A and B are shown apart, each in its own frame.
Chain A
């Protein structure tokens, strides 16, 4: 093949790659329909933690709260998740009542974590 053909061949591959990327990213991207809670957006995560805090207020069971927060998991520890949610709530206009709930949960989990207890 002549050099000109090689160039055209390479160009056609590049055009193909571009078309493939457009198809794969724009026209038919990978759809995530079965996601896990750890991929939730920050405000949804904070609301999830707030639900756990609301339940904790009634149950007063840090072990159960930790197991529930573990779903948001990944590498983050439950008391860190609670602290993150509290920080999110404080930097966003959550109601004082909700912030108090998150503070209570965060504090309880920190104490629970420091005590070395297992959920």
Chain B
């Protein structure tokens, strides 16, 4: 009896020690993460980071750099993340410039994604970047001068910040040199995308600025689960979804702007707006060149009573 009692104090000591140890490790001296990566940021800081990426993209115009930066946030689908953030900003009445920047970047990424010759490979070794020029122009190959294991924004085509639009046959493109640094903690994921991109300098926007959209289809329908929904679908001249296009809706006593592509799950050229019953709306596109007036939700009947119906509008660039 005394012997077994004698062992309990060891267990007690062990338990006390474990508690003290965990207390010290978790509360008094927890691991300090001073060298974190962007993917660990809090959601609102990620939004801020993503917005900076979108705004800076407007300045440098390099999709490779932008894509590499977005990869640091480790979003499952960066395009969807951009669209969702634009929606959040829209509902929070954020600045139009911010929403436009997010929508524009989303569109640029979708456009680039749609190109069959565009590829992105994540690799930790130096790679040759082949720039495939338009038909009739010679090919160029750029070799990075150093390996960059930490830089989040390579490669940068120094000779032409916007290679997709301005690469000339005689241009010699070189990649920015890499950089190395040491960190006290290795990030969980490889933070170093080095992209090998095959670019086409003949990229054209899906929605050509200046070519006003034309209404090609208008339908009304009754859908009890989506009362008063104005659904808009925009296509470019090639019949592809046109994302990031600003749509203005005005009505007596109000106005609202929104963009296509903010609900990518419904299509990159899709946008919608909820109409009130007995209210007339005016929709304008292409800086007011295309205007649809007297839009009003039709009244529909159901067993539970009348409700506003929906309208489907389809536009296309000539």
Chain A residues with CB under 8 Å of chain B are 1, 5, 8-25, 29-30, 32-37, 39-44, 47-48, 50-52, 54-55, 57-58, 68, 71, 92-95, 97-98
Contact at A19–B55, with CB atoms within 8 Å? Answer: no
Measured CA separation A92–B13 after assembly (Å): 53
The 8 closest A-B pairs by CB, nearest first: A20-B21, A16-B17, A24-B25, A12-B13, A92-B179, A93-B177, A34-B42, A41-B35
Measured CA separation A1–B49 after assembly (Å): 62
**B30 at the A interface (CB under 8 A):** yes
Q: Cβ of B146: which chain A residues have Cβ within 8 Å of it?
A: 93
Contact at B20–A39, with CB atoms within 8 Å? Answer: no
Contact at A30–B180, with CB atoms within 8 Å? Answer: no
Within B35-58, which residues are at the interface with A (CB < 8 Å)? 35-38, 40-43, 45, 48-49, 52-53, 55-56, 58
**B99 at the A interface (CB under 8 A):** no
Contact at A35–B156, with CB atoms within 8 Å? Answer: no
Measured CA separation A51–B20 after assembly (Å): 45
Which listed segment binds A: B123-131, B132-140, B147-155?
B147-155
Measured CA separation A30–B33 after assembly (Å): 10
Measured CA separation A29–B33 after assembly (Å): 11
Contact at A11–B13, with CB atoms within 8 Å? Answer: yes
Q: Cβ of A48: which chain B residues have Cβ within 8 Å of it?
A: 49, 52
Within B50-79, which residues are at the interface with A (CB < 8 Å)? 52-53, 55-56, 58-60, 69, 72
Measured CA separation A52–B239 after assembly (Å): 37
Chain B residues with CB under 8 Å of chain A are 6, 9-26, 30-31, 33-38, 40-43, 45, 48-49, 52-53, 55-56, 58-60, 69, 72, 146, 150-153, 156, 158, 161, 176-181, 183, 187, 191
Measured CA separation A52–B14 after assembly (Å): 53
Q: Which of A33, A36, A43 has the most CB of B within 10 A?
A: A43
Shortest Cβ distance from B41 into A: residue = A35
Contact at B33–A16, with CB atoms within 8 Å? Answer: no
Known: A9-B10, A16-B13, A57-B59. A40 touches B38 (CB 8 A): yes
Measured CA separation A108–B127 after assembly (Å): 37
- List 30 A-B pairs, Cβ < 8 Å: A9-B9, A9-B10, A15-B13, A15-B14, A15-B17, A16-B13, A17-B20, A17-B24, A18-B21, A20-B17, A22-B21, A24-B21, A24-B30, A25-B25, A35-B40, A36-B45, A37-B48, A39-B34, A42-B183, A44-B72, A44-B191, A47-B69, A48-B52, A55-B59, A57-B59, A93-B146, A93-B176, A93-B177, A95-B158, A95-B177
Tell me which of B9, B150, B156 contacts A43 (CB under 8 A). Answer: B150
Contact at A30–B156, with CB atoms within 8 Å? Answer: no
Q: Cβ of A68: which chain B residues have Cβ within 8 Å of it?
A: 48, 52
Q: Which of B24, B59, B178 has the most CB of A within 10 A?
A: B59
Contact at B24–A24, with CB atoms within 8 Å? Answer: yes
Contact at B36–A47, with CB atoms within 8 Å? Answer: no
Contact at B37–A41, with CB atoms within 8 Å? Answer: yes
Contact at B53–A51, with CB atoms within 8 Å? Answer: yes
Tell me which of A39, A43, A50 contacts B181 (CB under 8 A). Answer: A43
Q: Cβ of A16: which chain B residues have Cβ within 8 Å of it?
A: 13-21
Shortest Cβ distance from A8 into B: residue = B10
Shortest Cβ distance from B101 into A: residue = A55
Shortest Cβ distance from B146 into A: residue = A93
